[in-house]
Structure 1
Amino acid sequence: MKKMRIPLTAALCALLFLLGIPCVTQAGIYWVILIDSFCGGWAILFAAVLELVALIYIYGGNRVILDIEMMLGKKHWIFWLWWRACWYFVSPVLLGVILVWSLVTFEAPKKDGVAYPRWGVVLGFLMVVFCLIWIPIMAGVKIIQAKGNIFQRIASCCRPTENWGPALRKNRGERYQHMKDEDKSVENSDKKWTERYIQITDGPVKKEDKGVEIPDIIGFDNPSFQND
């Protein structure tokens, strides 16, 4: 994918440029209102609900807490009461109520008091579908690629994989020490960052310095910044 980075970026920029042209024509305000009414509302609401379900109910709220504590340090269980209440009850209920209410009270978007024609409303719904359809498509692809019967495949896709966790070993802590690297790319990345850090702070890398763990730069006396 790295070799295709420039062509893909150029193609995506060109595609988005072409899609944005109708929005700067004389009728551009009508397209902007149509996109904002559908993609800026329902698509985001649906995506937020699906993201909340995936993160809290499938991946697991307890796993999220453990991951956060791995980065920020251990917190008292009282600290997480508010967050648990928001994740498990407040946010799902509010998002559900807003979503249902917006569907029940739906009216065709208007410009200067004139409602959009039926084909415009249909086009707006199609844009919402286009924004969200990739979520079930990718879920289906992952289920097809999994092994076992349909229930085993769904169950395996709802659990973190064995190599799930921080890519660099120095960031894994005790929680992800069990991870095994599938190739040498991660190990080489660690060594490159180590050598680069030593070059910045202590000059050229020596043989005995290779593979040394990089110290925490926060609060570390770095000679490179003494004159800043």
Structure 2
Amino acid sequence: MTSAFVDEFPHLLKNRKVLFTAFFCFIEFLLGIPCIMEGGIYVLQIMDWYCATFSLMLLSLTECVVIAWIYGADRFYKDIELMIGYQPGVWWKICWKYITPATITFVWLFSVTQLSPVTYGDYEYPDGAIVFGWMLGLASIVPVPVCAIIAILGEKGSFVQRIKKLVHHTDDWGPAVEKHRIRYLQSLQNSQESLDSVVCTPLVDVKNMSASQQL
């Protein structure tokens, strides 16, 4: 999570990463204290009941769909090849596109149909605890559609045009380190894929980047 914040706000946190990480760990330490107190098992049960079986699987399903079908399994496949130096097995691509989303969908739907108010043994939680559990579970889900709606409203054109623009890469997409970015662009061009946005950078630009890197 700290890396996500640093990547999202580099102008504020890049030079303060150690301090921010320490602060983040301290906050998480404070949030974890209720789980180790006398009634901690009841708090932990709420978290497991509404987060692990509801929001976590829904977020995982969304991630699989976005990576495999919107970003593209082939593009993600090549990104991994660039990072590890060899092609992963085709089995992984099949999992990303079909097996994993289908499995998560089945388990999530089954969990939703069996979902009931949280209990622990014979203890039944009060209504306030149940509301807190739902708020806890939705806290990690709600930001996704909210941010999507804000992004759509911030674009111009028809609804379809806005969606198409938002699912395309931005001009700064790719590795942050310049030498890694050069390799990334060259790899995509050498594979002769159909590229969008940043990936459509002409080969001459890559050569110029290489020349500037040598200087």
**What is the TM-score of this pair, normalised by structure 1?**
0.66
Are the structure 2 counterparts of residues 65 and 24 from structure 1 closer, same or farther at C-alpha, using a change threshold of 3 Å?
closer
What residue is the counterpart of 2:45 in the other structure?
33
Kindly indicate whether the alpha-carbon contact (under 8 Å) linking 2:53 and 2:108 is maintained by their aligned counterparts in 1: no
Which of the residues 145, 159, 166 maps onto 1:150?
Answer: 159
1:94 aligns with 2:111: no
RMSD of Structure 2 on Structure 1 (CA): 3.1
Kindly indicate whether the alpha-carbon contact (under 8 Å) linking 2:119 and 2:125 is maintained by their aligned counterparts in 1: yes
Identity of aligned pairs, percent? 29
> Which ranges of structure 1 fall in alignment gaps of 5 or more residues?
181-189, 191-209, 214-228
Residues 176-217 of structure 1: per-residue CA shift (max 9 Å, x gap): 67677xxxxxxxxx9xxxxxxxxxxxxxxxxxxx9549xxxx
Give the Cα–Cα distance (whole angstroms) in 1 for the partners of residues 126 and 173 of structure 2. Answer: 48
What residue is the counterpart of 1:58 in the other structure?
70
What residue is the counterpart of 1:128 in the other structure?
137
CA shift for structure 1 position 122: 2.5
CA shift for structure 1 position 7: 7.5
> Which ranges of structure 2 fall in alignment gaps of 5 or more residues?
1-11, 190-197, 202-209
> Residue 97 of structure 1 aligns to which amino acid in structure 2?
F
Are the structure 2 counterparts of residues 10 and 87 from structure 1 closer, same or farther at C-alpha, using a change threshold of 3 Å?
closer
Give the Cα–Cα distance (whole angstroms) in 2 for the partners of residues 159 and 147 of structure 1. Answer: 15
CA shift for structure 1 position 13: 4.9
Give the Cα–Cα distance (whole angstroms) in 2 for the partners of residues 48 and 12 of structure 1. Answer: 24
Kindly indicate whether the alpha-carbon contact (under 8 Å) linking 1:23 and 1:32 is maintained by their aligned counterparts in 2: yes
After superposition, residues 1-228 of structure 1 pair within 5 angstroms as: 1-2=12-13, 12-13=24-25, 15-73=27-85, 75=87, 79-80=89-90, 82-172=91-181, 173=183, 174-175=186-187, 212=214
SS in 1 for 2:173: coil
Give the Cα–Cα distance (whole angstroms) in 2 for the partners of residues 71 and 10 of structure 1. Answer: 29
SS in 2 for 1:26: coil
**What is the TM-score of this pair, normalised by structure 2?**
0.70
Kindly indicate whether the alpha-carbon contact (under 8 Å) linking 2:77 and 2:87 is maintained by their aligned counterparts in 1: no
> Residue 46 of structure 2 aligns to which amino acid in structure 1?
L
